[in-house]
Amino acid sequence: MKQKTLCVHAGPGPDPATGAVNPPIYATSTYAYAAFGRHRGWEYSRTANPTRVALEQAVAELEGGADACAFASGMAAIDALTDLLAPGDHIVAAHNLYGGTYRLFTTITTRHSVEVSFVDVSDLKVLEASFRPNTKMLFLESPTNPLMALVDLAEASRLAHKRGVLVVVDNTFLSPVLQKPLELGADVVVHSTTKYLNGHSDAVGGVVVVSDPALGQDLHRIQNSAGAIMGPFDAYLVLRGIRTLAVRMAAHEEGGRAVAQFLAQHPKVLRVFYPGLPTHPQHQLAKRQQRGFGAMVAFDVGSLEKAKAVCDALQIFTLAESLGGVESLISHPATMTHASVPKEERERLGISDGLLRLSVGIEDPEDLLADLDSALAKI
């Protein structure tokens, strides 16, 4: 099935009881037993809820996976993955990740005696040298938040699998419409559904997709035991968002490309980070492993003062954390999404005080360029 068709039809299809074309929102915490000792397949909504299961099935189909588990947030989904590990295990993580993932790994995961190394995974030699005998998980983002660096997912997976290391890819920035990590060799895909999958900035959630059904069973055990589940109302919203994912991604991409090209030729902009630009150092890799370049664009205006002036002057772009909604957002990673990364570490990575990150929405690109043009004229 083609992407657009899959987005519209992924999941269990019409409700078997009534024929409703959309899954009902099963607003129930529990289910009546058919008889003593005999339930009807549904026991308690932490364990399973039909609306959540419909979403899980849809996302598994979209990513080409065997199973999926939906969680209360993207961070809850990533945290559940760390529950696969035992004390003494080691994670190799990309050195540029969403700031919240960095915070989870450095302040919570390590409390359970799991070691984490942050390495420049775009250099495969560095990646290979970072594996240890106790390495159990490779955690990647591609493209990274906010620097838009890529990892060769097929090669990184090959290197990890030689050592029996589980490969996890956070695919939030592209969505399954623009990248399918499981097809490239990864074992697990994680999403903040808060972003493109939902697409309307009205619900926080997360999902994990796996290629191995046994791993899926293990994650459902974690989901049920630890309990950070997505509720049925949110599951409904994300599933509704998925129906338009393919057409939204095409519109996002059109805007993303236009904005990146505009910024790349603007005299006030020092540097643009967008894998769709031929000048991006990994443009060829992006063309090979992605089905598009997406709509996340970062750019450097040189200083905190200038970054603030641009944010203050914009009319259509809203200053806010998050991304992937229909409306365009701007954020300042150093003081917002990546404030929990120490300043020296941010500077080492290139997350400068003048760096701004755009989530380009689906408005008319001409309006977005005019907004950026007048804001940049202020600096």
Active site residues: 46, 98, 170, 195
327 contacts ligand P1T (rule: CB under 6 A): no
Please give the residues from 37 up to 96 whose contact with ligand P1T meets the rule CB under 6 A.
Answer: 73-75
**Pick 289 or 331: Cβ nearer ligand P1T:** 331
Q: Please, are residues 186 and 139 in contact by the beta-carbon 8 Å criterion?
A: no
176 contacts ligand P1T (rule: CB under 6 A): no
Query: What per-residue string of b and e applies to 166-183 under the rule 16 or more CB within 10 Å gives b?
Result: bbbbbbbbbbbbbbbbbe
Contacting range for ligand P1T; rule: CB under 6 A; set: 56-64, 226-234, 319-327, 364-372: 319-327
100 contacts ligand P1T (rule: CB under 6 A): yes
Give the separation between CA 91 and CA 79, rounded to whole angstroms: 13
* CB 25 to ligand P1T: min, Å: 20
**Pick 197 or 376: Cβ nearer ligand P1T:** 197
253 contacts ligand P1T (rule: CB under 6 A): no
194 contacts ligand P1T (rule: CB under 6 A): yes
Classified as helix, coil or strand, 12 is coil
In this structure, what token pair is assigned to residue 352?
């400068």
* CB 267 to ligand P1T: min, Å: 28
Check whether the bond before 143 is cis (ω within 30° of 0): yes
361 contacts ligand P1T (rule: CB under 6 A): no
196 contacts ligand P1T (rule: CB under 6 A): no
Taking each helix axis as running N to C, give the angle between helix 365-376 and helix 245-264, from 0 to 180 degrees, rounded to the nearest 10: 30
Q: Of residues 321, 327, 345, 363, which one binds ligand P1T by CB under 6 A? A: 321
> How many residues at the interface with ligand P1T, by CB under 6 A?
19
Q: Tell me the Ramachandran region of residue 335: left when phi exceeds 0, alpha when psi lies from -120 to 50, beta otherwise.
A: alpha
* CB 321 to ligand P1T: min, Å: 4
Classified as helix, coil or strand, 40 is coil
Please give the residues from 151 up to 170 whose contact with ligand P1T meets the rule CB under 6 A.
Answer: 170
322 contacts ligand P1T (rule: CB under 6 A): yes
* CB 155 to ligand P1T: min, Å: 21
Query: What per-residue string of b and e applies to 227-261 under the rule 16 or more CB within 10 Å gives b?
Result: ebbbbbebbbbbbbbbbbbbebbebbbbbbbbbbb
216 contacts ligand P1T (rule: CB under 6 A): no
145 contacts ligand P1T (rule: CB under 6 A): yes
192 contacts ligand P1T (rule: CB under 6 A): yes
Question: How many CA atoms, within 13 angstroms, populate the side-chain half-sphere of residue 188?
Answer: 26
Q: Please, are residues 30 and 43 in contact by the beta-carbon 8 Å criterion?
A: yes
Q: Of residues 61, 89, 141, 152, which one binds ligand P1T by CB under 6 A? A: 141
**Pick 104 or 362: Cβ nearer ligand P1T:** 104
- The neighbour count for residue 296, using CB atoms within 10 Å, is 27
Please give the residues from 1 up to 40 whose contact with ligand P1T meets the rule CB under 6 A.
Answer: none
Q: Please, are residues 185 and 155 in contact by the beta-carbon 8 Å criterion?
A: no
Torsion 276-279-280-285 (CA) sign:
positive
| Site of interaction with ligand P1T (CB under 6 A) | 73-75, 98, 100-101, 141, 145, 170, 172, 192, 194, 204, 206, 321-323, 331, 337
